[in-house]
Amino acid sequence: MADLKLDTHYGHYLEAAPSPALAVVNVMPLFGLHRALRGALVGHLACMEITSSPGSRRLATAMRRTDAGPAAEHFYAEHVEADATHEQVVAAKW
């Protein structure tokens, strides 16, 4: 966030975040806190792991193209490789 010239204080942008953005990060804890939703938790996690690598690749490219800084680019570039590995593990289990 510092490379992007954004405020790094916890919760600084909470009021500016739209509700759907907050829902995405709150759904997994919701699933994890309720035993009846364990299947949803596993399905959601599998879906996220299988589909996140291409998005991370596009974000890494965008960080590079906009000269966002080395930390911003590294964050997403690292996720490309890690998410691709996770994708293979999840796909093999299904």
Distance CA 79, CA 77 (A): 5
Q: Is the pLDDT of residue 79 over 70?
A: yes
* Token representation of residue 54: 């291409």
- Residues 21-30 have a mean pLDDT of 90
* Token representation of residue 12: 């600084």
Tell me which of 3-7, 79-83, 89-93 is least confident.
89-93
Q: Is the pLDDT of residue 94 over 70?
A: no
Q: What is the pLDDT of residues 47-58, one digit of tens each?
A: 888 888 888 899
Distance CA 49, CA 14 (A): 25
Distance CA 37, CA 26 (A): 14
Q: Is the pLDDT of residue 10 over 90?
A: yes
The domain locations on the chain are 14-93
